[in-house]
Amino acid sequence: MDNEILEFDIGLGGEGDGLGDDDGGDMEQTVDEDDLAYSPAPSSGGGGAIGSNEIYLPEGDLSDLEPYEGMEFESEEAAKAFYNSYARRVGFSTRVSSSRRSRRDGAIIQRQFVCAKEGFRNLNEKRTKDREIKRPRTITRVGCKASLSVKMHDSGKWIVSGFVREHNHELVPPDQVHCLRSHRQISGAAKTLIDTLQAAGMGPRRIMSALIKEYGGISKVGFTEVDCRNYMRNNRQRSLEGDIQLVLDYLRQMHAENPNFFYAVQGEEDQCMSNVFWADPKARMNYTFFGDTVTFDTTYRSNRYRLPFAPFTGVNHHGQPVLFGCAFMINESEASFVWLFKTWLMAMSGRPPVSITTDLDCVLRSAIIQVFPETRHRFCKWHIFKKCQEKLSHIFLKHPNFEAEFHKCVNLTESIEEFESCWLTLVDRYDLRDHEWLQSIYSSRRQWVPVYLRDTFFAEMSITQRSDSMNSYFDGYVNASTNLNQFFKLYEKALESRNEKEVRADYDTMNTLPILRTPSPMEKQASELYTRKIFVRFQEELVGTLTFMASKAEDDGEVITYHVAKFGEDHKAYCVKFNVLEMKATCSCQMFEFSGLLCRHVLAVFRVTNVLTLPSHYILKRWTRNAKSNVILEDHSTDVYTYYLESHTVRYNTLRHEALKFVDEGAKTRENYDMAMVALQEAAKRVAEAIKTDGRTPVSNGKVRSCLLNDGSHREYTRGIHEESLSQHMSEDDMDKNIRELMSELQSANRKCEIYRSNLLSVLKAVEDHKSELSVTVQNIKIGMKDGF
């Protein structure tokens, strides 16, 4: 076969050369854990040569061909293709190593193709030693000598001048050859199918499943899921290169119509590939009212979407999603996200949010730390659950109960200690301690597990609720198949629809009356302050207090600690600390801190301590019907009523608190007791005299202040924080008249409460009696059965 000329023009590499360096930077690996590239371990022998029995022969006429010195090819590409085909049959990857050029015209006259494991990685290269490597690649070069050298003959043919057959590492079996870099290529037919399925809204994982089924196995597909992801991403970016001008034209037009319309482009506007951000005037205004918590939705990064669209959203006073701005993120580097967050913050007047929710992503986390160092960053729990179904699919199939146990561990644990214990039990039970992905999300648990996040406001009505703003603002409008030509029409329709829903909710709140379920003044107060949806949620908590009992556990003189639990469930008690003088309470469930609404446990303590209305510091303006007004228009008659109830409650609690301390001290000795009785009798006389003279000393929240006069004496006086505002609207006599009327209404309400409580106690007594009757019946049945035997 000497001087035989072979024409062997086989296209390689799919998107590029395909004979890339396995250690080098081919296409960016978009998802670390999905990188399926095969990296075979060195053989235990360290340098065994390959025998003929270890070479896998392909089907067809070329099965007996192997490179040899003197072999001729029509071109350099033909030689490269032949060697790569040979490598595929044997089980290794190839790359171009070196070349030699002609001194006469600079043309390449010699080329060497080597095994991809040839040589060793230079860890001291200048391009890497001066910068931090965030994702170091696996070392794959082991000094293999296998190679093919060809040089150009005077005839124009390329002749094999050297061939080294032996490898110093194990070779890859046929069912894994498709994972080697030089053998991964996407054919034209596969590209067509990927484009079609992507347009239908399918993601890379589902597309790969379809391709495997279509081709009859992963080894016959010819590329990996990572290749599919990279192709889809690059295809999406190429499709936007010409259309991004549509975005810029639209934004310029909107800014010309309204100067408060904000937009920015990263880099120069005339660049084809640029990141873009915009926020209309309504979005910027909404942020001033509801910008305490923000969601940055990057669902598009799954590659299922054709548009790299990312909205900033929040929650309005009706619990509806509200828009704070949008972006097209064509470049997804850390620097690009830093630019985006800084630009968004500038558009929002430089006021960062209290909290921000994003998908689980290292790049986003790093960017947020740089731009929002004081903002609490949370990963979307529901995206993690969805990812869990993919990463642990084998566990889900094998153990049907795992999903429920996983959800219970994350959502229903009440403390950090309980979660940690539950997690360890779960991973041990299903032998998952060494599962890499599960360990990675566990290491980030403080940013997605509810028990670690309860002390921060996220505007959610419960710990286990899914954030309604995450990936929902544009649902039904922008989808996986939306392109730029359609986008802005659908975008504007979505804005109109959301605005209409908010207007409708405002109308329902202002023009319809909610159904009150208790005679509580607090419920009536809440119904007049909160929007309808928020009131219904508060009402659930208020009614829920009827099933809870609050018992005093500790009193240190300033703060009283209560244990609040359902009847018969003392082991599930919540701890509520209540400062009577400041009217402030905190609960171990931290619902107020998380959602901005008081929980049933605090409300149960308010019930037993005679707090009849919500203290003003527990009414967040962002949940009220006046959330979007700069000035709160108060109903003065309601203000007087609320002021009286709050003042009476505080006076009552303060007196009782002080009296109990007085009683404790007075009962210790006989002498203390006698002095205490004298003091009480004197105090009783003074109170009786004050009632007779109808003394009017304005009191607000029971706060008594001591004022030092010029003569050195002290005078005790009280100041009402509402006194000045009330005197502007009504005379003292009118105030007294209103207060007497309100006291009458209060007494009537108290009577109704007593009747309600009496009825409730009767029901509970009837339930207990019925339980006793059932217990006796059961015992009789057991005795009868024993007698029968």
Indicate if the pLDDT at residue 532 is higher than 60: yes
Q: Are 292 and 469 in contact (CB under 8 A)?
A: no
Backbone φ and ψ of 600, nearest 5°: -65, -20
Strands across the sheet with 147-152, in order? 5-6, 72-73, 158-164, 147-152, 108-115, 94-101
The band of 53, judged by pLDDT with boundaries at 50, 70 and 90, is very low
Q: Choose between 647 and 397: higher pLDDT.
A: 397
Please check whether residue 451 is in contact with residue 419, taking contact to mean a CB–CB distance below 8 angstroms: yes
Give the integer Cα–Cα distance in Å for 139 and 124.
14
**Model pLDDT, residue 755:** 67
pLDDT at 575: 96
How far is it, in rounded angstroms, from Cα 200 to Cα 304? 9
pLDDT of residue 448: 95
Q: Give Cβ neighbours of residue 45 (< 8 Å, ≥ 6 apart).
A: none
Residue-wise DSSP of 67-80: --TT-EESSHHHHH
Lowest mean pLDDT among 167-176, 205-214, 734-743: 734-743
Give the model's pLDDT for residue 679: 85
Lowest mean pLDDT of 13-27, 257-271, 287-301, 522-536, name the range.
13-27
Q: What does the pLDDT look like over 160-173, one tens digit per residue?
A: 888 888 888 888 78
Average pLDDT over residues 667-681: 84
Under 8 Å between Cβ of 280 and 322 = no
Whether residue 188 contacts residue 194, with contact meaning beta carbons closer than 8 Å, is answered with no
Q: What is the mean pLDDT of the segment spanning 49-56?
A: 36
pLDDT at 644: 46
- Evaluate if residue 272 carries a pLDDT over 90: no
pLDDT at 776: 63
Length of the chain: 789
Residue 429 has pLDDT above 90, yes or no: yes
The answer to whether residue 140 scores a pLDDT higher than 80 is: no
Per-residue model confidence (pLDDT) at position 303: 45
The model's pLDDT over 276-325, given as tens digits with 9 standing for 90+, comes to: 999 999 999 999 999 999 999 887 655 445 567 889 999 999 999 999 99
Question: To the nearest whole percent, how much of the chain has pLDDT over 90?
Answer: 35
For the segment 12-24, the average pLDDT, to the nearest whole number, is: 36
Q: What share of the chain is helix, strand, coil (3-state, %, to 5)?
A: 50, 15, 40
Assess whether pLDDT exceeds 90 at residue 536: yes
- pLDDT on residue 665: 80
Question: Residue 730 above 90 pLDDT?
Answer: no
Asked if pLDDT for residue 713 goes beyond 80, the answer is no
pLDDT at 710 over 50: no
pLDDT reported for residue 7: 37
Report whether pLDDT(37) > 50.
Answer: no
Residue 744 tokens, joined = 């009458």
pTM: 0.61
CA dihedral of residues 207, 211, 217, 219 (deg, nearest 10)? -90
pLDDT at 608: 92
Question: For the ranges 91-100, 614-623, 652-661, 672-681, which has the lowest average pLDDT?
Answer: 652-661
Burial profile 185-203: b = 16 or more Cβ within 10 angstroms, e = fewer: bbeeebeebbeebbeeebb
Predicted confidence band of residue 54 (pLDDT cuts 50, 70, 90): very low
**Per-residue pLDDT band at 653 (split at 50, 70, 90):** low
Residue 454 has a pLDDT of 93
So what's the pLDDT on residue 116? 85
Confidence check: pLDDT of 714 > 50: no
pLDDT at position 148 over 80: yes
Write phi, then psi, for 540 (nearest 5 degrees): -60, -40
Residue 753 CB neighbour total at 10 angstroms: 16
The mean pLDDT of 130-136, rounded to a whole number, is: 56
pLDDT in tens, 748-774: 777 677 666 666 666 666 666 666 667
Q: Around Cβ 5, how many Cβ atoms within 10 Å?
A: 13
Highest mean pLDDT among 2-6, 238-242, 598-602: 598-602
Q: Find the range with the poorest average confidence among 276-290, 303-317, 445-459, 578-592.
A: 303-317
Give the containing element (helix H, strand E) for 652.
helix 636-666
Residue 637's pLDDT band (cuts 50, 70, 90): very low
| Mean pLDDT lowest among 174-178, 299-303, 377-381 | 299-303
Percent of the chain beyond pLDDT 70? 71
Work out the mean pLDDT of the chain and round it to a whole number.
Answer: 77
Confidence of residue 698 (pLDDT cuts 50, 70, 90): very low
Are the CB atoms for 647 and 722 separated by under 8 Å?
no
> Does the pLDDT value for residue 40 go beyond 80?
no
Could you tell me the pLDDT band of residue 402, with boundaries at 50, 70 and 90? very high
pLDDT for position 75: 87
Least confident of 14-23, 355-364, 444-453, 501-510: 14-23
3-state secondary structure of 148: strand
pLDDT computed for residue 328 by the predictor: 87
What was the pLDDT predicted at 697? 43
